[in-house]
Amino acid sequence: MRPINGDHVNRAVAGLVAALRPAVDRDWENTGAGRLQWSCRKTAEHVASDLIAYAGQLAGRAQEAYVPFDIVLDEGTDNAGLLHVIETTGMLLATAVRTTPPGVRAFHPYPFRSADREGFAAMGVAEVLLHTHDIAEGLGLAHEPADDLAESVLTWLFPHVQPGPAPWPTLLWATGRGELPGRAPVTDWRWRNNLVIPTERLTLTGVRPAAARDLRLGGDGGLEWLEGGPYEGTREAAGFLVKAYEAGVHRPEFGVFTLVRHEDGRAIGGIGFHGAPDEEGRVEIGYDLLEGARGQGYATEAVRALTEWALAREDVDLVLATVEADNLPSQRVVTRAGFTRATVEELRTAREDHDVEGGLQLYVRRT
């Protein structure tokens, strides 16, 4: 898989310049930008400001807030000069994305207070594509980006949005800028960077739909894996994630996570939920670990961390784990992670009402 990267940022910016350069002699200051409350000029300045801000977050490794600086254009900068500024800030973001090591995250407020280099690249591309549309609409210019750019934004930042018949109209609809047949208009929206949950020795890294597709098809999901990885269970879970995404029912925080080891940055397994919590606040957890990483407590560490994260939420009251009766190592993992064997009544209910297979041992952990 080729993750979204600095080349995508450069292509998006080149598309903006190509679309808007024919109108540099127009009055951007007194022309509204599409459906926005801003003028075309203010919108273009906003693009430049966002691009340099995202570059600054990555370069400065900001963890608690935005790096406290902003961009100010020289007095008298015309529209052509502003496009040059956007080209420059776009290159700065592209360079920051290229030079930031894998796994590094910096502050971004929504929704989990951080983003990785792919997230910042995707946000930069989103800002450029969407605001090029706004400005072009205000100026009466034609603009439609390449499908792969729009699809990258959707699969990296909008995992909760069901894909539509084509990426660009879907992205416009998802951001309140257009309509899709059979779907209600969007009046409030946010993109979603992936969730990460750190532990002492691991980072549980949320898998995005783009990476899940690659894993399902036999790729590495953009990760460096320990020998033998990814395990088949991770690929199967990635396939379920893609199906949920395509059906429009994917809840990213209750999806699939890879276990990335701090000491060498390698992925050593997968963990995740079988779906979102049901109406009773029940959610089931599953995991796998590559053979070369077993026997060192990684699975217990990951199961404990993900379970405690889930139980801290208001919509989760009970976490379940099903283990084969002869899989004693896995039974020890969940026990060390705070789970207990289900009662006879709990097991009967799980089999009758929740399709838990016979022959499996049921373990539970409550709030």
What is the rounded distance in angstroms from the CA atom of residue 25 to the CA atom of residue 13?
Answer: 19
In a domain, 184, yes or no: no
In a domain, 181, yes or no: no
Res. 316: pLDDT tops 90: yes
What domain range includes position 286? 196-366
109-144 burial: b if 16+ Cβ within 10 Å, else e: eeebebbbbbbbbbbbbbbbbbbbbbbbbbbeeebe
Same domain, 36 and 134: yes
The CA angle 242-246-249, to the nearest 5 degrees, is: 90
Q: What CATH number did the domain enclosing 256 receive?
A: 3.40.630.30
Binned at pLDDT 50, 70 and 90, residue 45 comes out as: very high
Residue recorded with tokens 């405690």: 308
Q: Which residue has the higher pLDDT, 345 or 165?
A: 165
Same domain, 18 and 103: yes
In a domain, 150, yes or no: yes
8 Å CB contact between 310 and 283: yes
Domain boundary among 174, 206, 231: 174
Average pLDDT over residues 325-352: 89
Same domain, 204 and 161: no
> Within 10 Å of residue 315's Cβ, how many Cβ atoms?
12
Binned at pLDDT 50, 70 and 90, residue 359 comes out as: confident
Cα 145 vs. chain centroid, distance in angstroms?
21
Domain boundary among 126, 144, 174: 174
Number of structural domains the chain divides into? 2
pLDDT tens-digit profile of 238-271?
999 999 999 999 999 999 999 999 999 999 999 9
8 Å CB contact between 192 and 159: yes
Same domain, 99 and 200: no
Res. 353: pLDDT tops 90: no
The three-state secondary structure class of 272 is strand
Domain boundary among 142, 174, 206: 174
8 Å CB contact between 16 and 132: yes
Same domain, 213 and 247: yes
Q: What CATH number did the domain enclosing 140 receive?
A: 1.20.120.450
Binned at pLDDT 50, 70 and 90, residue 360 comes out as: confident
